[in-house]
Amino acid sequence: MRSASSAFWAFVMVIAATSGAARAAPSAAAEAWLDGLTARVVADLADGKPLVVQAHVPLCDNDVIPCGNARLGDGDDPARNLYWATSEGFLGWFGRRGSGWKQVLDADGQAIGEADVLDLRVWRRELATPAAWRRAGAPARFTLYVVAQAWRGEAIHQAFTHYADDLYGVTAHTVTLADGTELAAGGDAHVVAYVGHNHLMDLAAFDWQAVAKRADSRPRGAIAIACHTAVYMQDVVPSARRVPLVLTRDFLLASAAALEGAVLGFARGGDYAAIRKGAAAGYADGGKKPLARVFGAFSNPADKRWGKPSYSRSLNLHAELHRAAQGK
């Protein structure tokens, strides 16, 4: 296990160091997708509603993928987990000094009827409304919430299934904050994110069509911060209803900092290029890495490689390392 983990993370660093930072003009269709999502957000802000981001975070679990050591990879212990409690995890990053976020809920899955959600946090931030959004009718300031659910590590399939359902608007739930405020979360959120190990690598296939048959018509922003999510998702998920804010084309840590960067890039009225750069800059800041070194790990329609296959050799090597880590 130890040697496989070391080899995996060494390969992560090599790939990150050689990734390109290619930029391109998004297609007219992709631009229209982002315009549609923005129109939904502006309409809700004009009605006095907040901007809500729903994030699903399956905890790092050494029984699923090497997490560094036993403490960081205990998928039943969010208080010490790599994806939750470290400086680049959700508690560490959103709770860092001067983050601009205020935690407004500390609960667990009982609050939403999910036994495998071990920790449920909500953070709030007040933002100035982008000028273009104000011209379209939004108020001068608005509230942004991030609803983050830490799933039991071995419940990764449930976490990913809930992510897919929320992304397609199949499910929704209300989260009640400490002050009694009720947030429309889950499939009612404006942006739905997955931050963790890429569970699609563990499956022979995922039936996106079955989920799509139950989808609603509202647009949502799609974020998936896990290794090589673009190669698994970009041909089946992105559309006017599932606007691809950030996917990935590399191996990387499931980083709350990257999520924050992408979310703030969108919430400040950014285009695809700004959202992509926000994710990469957050990742670089959180990991104390040069932006140029990690920029190519993040992708959306502003990426010249958008729509092209990712590196099959890299995926095959990851599969070999994953099997080795599992002793297979």
In the numeric block, which tokens belong to residue 142?
């608005």
Question: For position 308, what pLDDT does the model report?
Answer: 72
Domain membership of residue 15 as a residue range:
2-325
pLDDT digits (tens, 9 = 90+) for 82-102: 999 999 999 999 999 999 999
Q: Dihedral sign, CA of 213, 240, 149, 60?
A: positive
In the chain, DSSP finds a helix count (H) and a strand count (E) of 11, 10
Question: For position 2, what pLDDT does the model report?
Answer: 38
Question: For position 307, what pLDDT does the model report?
Answer: 78
Give per-residue burial for 120-147: e unless 16+ CB within 10 Å, then b: bbbbbbeeebbeebbebebeeebbbbbb
Question: For position 151, what pLDDT does the model report?
Answer: 98
Per-residue pLDDT of the chain in tens (328 residues, 90 and over written 9): 333 334 433 443 444 344 445 778 999 999 999 999 999 999 999 999 999 999 999 999 999 999 999 999 999 999 999 999 999 999 999 999 999 999 999 999 999 999 999 999 999 999 999 999 999 999 999 999 999 999 999 999 999 999 999 999 999 999 999 999 999 999 999 999 999 999 999 999 999 999 999 999 999 999 999 999 999 999 999 999 999 999 999 999 999 999 999 999 999 999 999 999 999 999 999 999 999 999 999 999 999 999 776 544 445 554 554 554 455 4
In the numeric block, which tokens belong to residue 184?
């429309």
Neighbours of 43 (CB within 10 A): 13
pLDDT digits (tens, 9 = 90+) for 139-175: 999 999 999 999 999 999 999 999 999 999 999 999 9
Look at the chain and report how many structural domains it folds into: 1
Return d(Cα 211, Cα 270) in angstroms, integer: 29
Question: For position 5, what pLDDT does the model report?
Answer: 39
Question: For position 319, what pLDDT does the model report?
Answer: 57
Question: For position 13, what pLDDT does the model report?
Answer: 40
The predicted model scores a pTM of: 0.90
DSSP at 157: H
Return d(Cα 82, Cα 87) in angstroms, integer: 9
Task: Give the distance, in angstroms, between the CA of residue 126 and the centroid of all CA atoms in the same chain.
Answer: 21
